Chain A
Amino acid sequence: MPGQPHIEVENLQVFYGKVPAVRGVSFTVLPGEQLTLLGPSGCGKTTTLRAVAGLEKPTSGEIRIGGAVIYSAARNVNVPAEKRGLSMVFQSYAIWPHMSVFENVAYGLRVRRIGSTEITEKVHRALDMVQMRDFAGRRTSQLSGGQQQRVALARAFVFEPSVLLFDEPLSNLDAKLRTDMRIELRELQHRLGITSLYVTHDLEEALAMSDRIVVMRDGSVEQVGTPDEIYSLPRSAFVADFIGSANLIRGHSRPDLAAGDTIALETADGQVIYGMAYGRSVGEELTFSVRTVHLQISLQRPAIEKNVWPVRVEKTVFQGDFSQVHVVWGAQRLIARCAAMEPIAPGRDVYMMVEPRRVVLLGA
């Protein structure tokens, strides 16, 4: 897996007329890795994917696959989509209604003029892998959404492409099916060892499936990292909030209270909280990010020195596996996610604590 990157995107810019959809995005994907482009709708992730596919014409930048330049504004290169040797799974599945399941999957092989015995063999094998073998002769109009998705998948990898592009392939499925398919896709990708560029707006999906994630906003890259890095060490308020509910705490630095890796921040209303910088520069004004799941609520005062405060419960929202407890902390409201517990009555005084290492300094 280490070595030359398989997909390289350099300073990609895509303008629709005067409107910028992608403003200077760069990233690489290593061979066999799944890189996910994650972000809210309109952030440019799909446009970036389609630019790599060749279905959108960028305004400037460069794209290389396996070292070969497939798009370069400077060098005036733009290889047509059908010649790039990539493969793609579409959000709407794009199953062709006038062909059988078999013919749908066989299409890419037919284009490459593979002999018919070989086609039959490959198609059956692909269908086996997605557990759709029995449906080979069926008309596609009779398939459910999940079944269509599997066929689309089989069609995408049957001709052994080196790169697979995914455009929100699971977003049209219902929640339960989505979770199952996620796992299947991941396993398939590992088995085949195909480099994947994946686009989704679903946080859980990205965290579950990716080797690395690129968080995008408004056409630019916010942060690149492994799921754990993104989750635990968000670089900005946006990433922090997008990746999982986070509390943002602002204040000025208290260098006098800093010790070792730990730094301190004092809020406008005098609350002091300890956190860690994780290599980011410490300025005058700081913002800390604390995941709701890391704030702990207890009825008794914990026997800890730092980061313990008495707080008042404003309300508790029951969410089944957990509850969200809204507390008043000084002049600010914070949300703590607590595992299933007895509901705490509003107005109750409780104690809140958080480990300093869970309090993350955000970048400027």
Chain B
Amino acid sequence: MTAIAANAGPVSAQKLAGYGVAAIAAVLVLYPVFYLFQAAFDVGDPQTRPPTAYGFDNFGNLLQYPQILLNTLTVSFAATVMALVIGFLMAWILTRTNVPGRKLFEQLMTVPYYLTPLLGALAWSMLGSPESGFVNQVWRAAGASGHIIDINTPYGIAWVMALFEGSVAFVMIAAVMKSMDPSLEEASQIMGASRLRTMLRVTLPLVIPGVLGAAIFVFAEMLGSFAVALVLGSPNRYYVITTAIYQLIQQYPPRIQVSAAMGVSLFAVMFVMLFIYRRVVMGGSYVTITGKAFRPRVADLKGLRWVLFCICVLYLLASVLLPVLTLLFASVQKIAVAFPTADNFTLNNFRAAMSMNAVSSALGNSLLLGFATASIGIALMGLLAWLIYRSRLPGTGLIEYVVMFPQAVPRLVFAFGMMWAWLVFPIPIYGTTWLLLIAYLTVFLPLGVRTIAGVMLQIDKSLEECAQMCGASWTFRTRTITVPLLLPGLIATWLLLFIASVRELGASILLMGPHSKVITPAIVESWFGTASELTATLALIQTLVVAAAMLVLVLVTRRLTAETVG
């Protein structure tokens, strides 16, 4: 940590940059939240702005929707449990056993995150609908009647959510497992405990705090999940808070007030959970300050390891391969069925998709926005991460809360506040891509700051302090020491932000304008308004384009990092 002189004469570059970026973050985050709260407490005539009367009535009205609240909790809980099981299992397999191809699997485990849950929902909808789902068609062809899976149930929704969030749970739990001291397990085994007993009595209890942390985090994310519930739940009249809000504000007259109240309630719950996460689990910060990383003892499971290998393959199949192949299969048919006849095949869907002006402009916008968000993002979030976790400026605890705020607000709800906030803003950015850029930078603050901070904190403080002792000013040493050391982490964050912004749905769907369409909401619009085959085609095109962009970027950055770091 670098101490800052209380009176170093004129305002230092450090303080300027630090407080400047904090002010930007505060405006980005708090401005929309204010409008959200204002709407939630507005009990006057919804058409008049600014509000004429304030009260708690809207929250009282929430009690008319007990089913929706119950649904939200059910689905989130089920999804969290499933995601944790997947995450824990995969983490244990990949960090603790000698399953073949460990390194490769670890890399591949992040791929489900890159595919949007929307894609998964669309694909699984095609696989698991009780009537038209491919799996059920195959089931019936095999002679049985009825259907074997119904993806449009709460557990179906939870399953699809868990498949994708499982990879996030995996990353968190694997990190915990990697920081466990293997000698603790060895002690157990030396005393004669079997491997299973060791896992249950030693490993599990040690890992539980970390798993609990992951659970809270995942649960908070699930509460705010939108895409899957929209595609799989809405057709079956199964609403959760986010999809309910979406429907309620689509009507005329829009039920703004009760939606805002729902949003604020959800926010309150998520905020409390994340507060617990920070205080109890993380010991006062949102970022793990990883100590020594141990080399965990890897169990040799001999024959059993091939079974585990299959499990890993199965997960990747279910979460990545199967959805993509399903979409491909559907996209080349006129009317998608499990056993198409020869004349059912067509390339028309691709032709139609390519010619749709909305698609090409949406794709272009998405890629451009991704680029802009990532590039501006790493500068903004890098400075914020430094400010919160490395500088000793006063007030950084408060700033950390502000930066992590968007984590506690479902994207849709946040965008709701943003819609109002930026609508009245004097500079006309409403309806333009600028608004989307601002929205993305805002909602990704927690993600970016957390990731960069994680990398930053692994850099030994003394490396920067030594530069200080050699006489380097803050700007000099940031440029020559901090940034080059951070570079691999910054690049990784750049890619993460790029992907996150291209796959973003909840905020974009509310904030798109006629000239600022982006691809993921466009796919949802397509789902609403075109045949499912065309939607599948669009989703596929989006995936391929993004994958191609990612490949190019990874190759370019690999060359870049190879040149700078020795």
Contact = CB atoms under 8 A, between A and B. Distances in A.
Report if A and B touch in the complex (beta carbons < 8 A).
yes
A96 interface: yes
Interface of A: 53-57, 76-83, 85-88, 90-92, 94, 96-100, 107-108, 111-112, 139-141, 155-156, 159, 165
B463 interface: yes
Nearest to A57: B3
A15 B467 CA distance: 25
25 contacts: A55-B2, A55-B469, A57-B6, A76-B6, A78-B5, A81-B3, A81-B465, A82-B468, A88-B466, A88-B469, A90-B465, A92-B460, A94-B460, A94-B463, A94-B465, A96-B466, A96-B467, A97-B566, A107-B480, A108-B470, A111-B476, A140-B566, A156-B469, A159-B470, A165-B469
A312 to B, nearest CB: 42
A323 B470 CA distance: 48
Interface in B308-342: none
A99 B472 CA distance: 16
A156 B471 CA distance: 11
B481 A96 contact: yes
Interface of B: 1-8, 392, 460, 462-463, 465-473, 476-477, 480-481, 484-485, 564-566
Contact of B473 (A55, A82, A92): A82
A99 to B, nearest CB: 8
A57 B394 CA distance: 13
B393 to A, nearest CB: 12
A155 B467 CA distance: 10
A68 to B, nearest CB: 15
Contacts of A81: 2-3, 465, 468-469
Contacts of B477: 82
A78 B6 contact: yes
A66 B132 CA distance: 86
Given A76-B7, A82-B472, A107 B462 contact: no
**Chain A CB within 10 A, most for which of B3, B467, B470, B484:** B470
B284 to A, nearest CB: 13
Chain B CB within 10 Å — which of A53, A57, A77, A80 has the most?
A80
Nearest to B470: A108
Contacts of B480: 107
Contacts of B6: 57, 76, 78
Given A98-B565, A98-B566, A100-B566, A155 B3 contact: no
Contacts of A77: 7
A94 B466 contact: yes
A107 B2 contact: no
A111 B481 CA distance: 12
Contacts of B484: 98
B566 A87 contact: no
A159 to B, nearest CB: 7
Nearest to A98: B484
B8 A80 contact: yes
A196 to B, nearest CB: 14
B471 A112 contact: yes
Contact of A80 (B5, B460, B465, B476): B5
Nearest to A138: B566
A83 B3 CA distance: 13
Given A78-B5, A90-B462, A141-B566, A97 B485 contact: yes
Contacts of B485: 96-98
Contacts of A88: 465-466, 469
Contacts of B470: 82, 87, 107-108, 111, 155, 159
Contacts of A78: 5-8
Given A78-B7, A139-B566, A96 B468 contact: no
A107 B472 contact: yes
